[in-house]
């Protein structure tokens, strides 16, 4: 079943690239007590994700924060090393927290997994965004296959 506004995020762990190496964070700790702009991409270094999706959140970070967002986070079914390298390549370090969902546990738990096996991608997370306030989903925006519109930072700004 797909998560919906009003639902609390499931308790799932992510791996993040940290100063001391890889670190584990869970949804309860990461989202507790703050408003987070969370977005998911099908994969790091993929064309739309690298050219438009992640850059939109880097470019609009200050505007999101002036509208009450405490943190911006990106998740993908990639490992933390790939997420860290991708963050550096687009200048997102220090602006967007990269939450590696290496095994797809989060994507499955929120009901937003996609099957990309016919493209050689395996199982991934769908392209979506959500506003999460103290662990509760306030807004959820799920893209139709092949689209990039409602999960953008620009769309999210209109929801805040």
Which residues 6+ apart lie within 8 Å of 56 measured at CB?
Answer: 152, 153, 154
pTM, 2 dp: 0.93
pLDDT of residue 102: 93
**CA-angle at 152, arms to 147 and 158, nearest 5°:** 125
pLDDT of residue 51: 72
List, for residues 51-74, the tens digit of each pLDDT value: 778 999 999 999 999 999 999 999
List, for residues 88-110, the tens digit of each pLDDT value: 998 888 899 999 999 999 999 99
Residues designated catalytic? 49
Average pLDDT, the chain: 92
At residue 48, does pLDDT exceed 80? no
pLDDT of residue 146: 85
Beta strands in the chain (DSSP E): 13-18, 21-26, 35-40, 71-76, 97-100, 113-115, 123-125, 128-133, 136-142
Which of the following CATH numbers is that of domain 13-159: 3.20.20.70, 3.40.30.10, 3.40.50.880, 3.40.50.720? Answer: 3.40.30.10
Q: Which residues on adjacent β-strands are paired with residue 15?
A: 24, 100
**How long, in residues, is the chain?**
160
Secondary structure class of 139 (helix, strand, coil): strand
Instruction: State the DSSP code for 96.
Output: S
Map out the domains of the chain as residue ranges.
13-159
């Amino acid at each position: 079943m797909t998560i919906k506004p009003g639902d609390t995020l499931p308790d799932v762990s992510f791996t993040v690239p940290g100063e001391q190496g890889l670190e584990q964070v869970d949804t309860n700790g990461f989202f507790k007590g703050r408003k987070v702009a969370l977005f998911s991409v099908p994969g790091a270094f993929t064309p739309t994700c690298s050219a438009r999706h992640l850059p939109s959140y880097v470019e609009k970070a200050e505007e999101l924060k002036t509208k009450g967002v405490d943190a911006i986070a990106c998740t993908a079914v990639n490992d933390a090393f790939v997420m860290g390298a991708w963050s550096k390549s687009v200048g997102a370090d220090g602006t967007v927290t990269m939450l590696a969902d290496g095994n797809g546990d989060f994507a499955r738990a929120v009901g937003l997994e996609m099957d990309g096996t016919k493209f050689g991608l395996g199982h991934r997370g769908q392209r979506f965004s959500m506003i999460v306030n103290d662990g509760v989903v306030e807004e959820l925006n799920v893209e139709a296959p092949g689209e990039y519109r409602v999960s953008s930072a620009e769309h999210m700004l209109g929801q805040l």
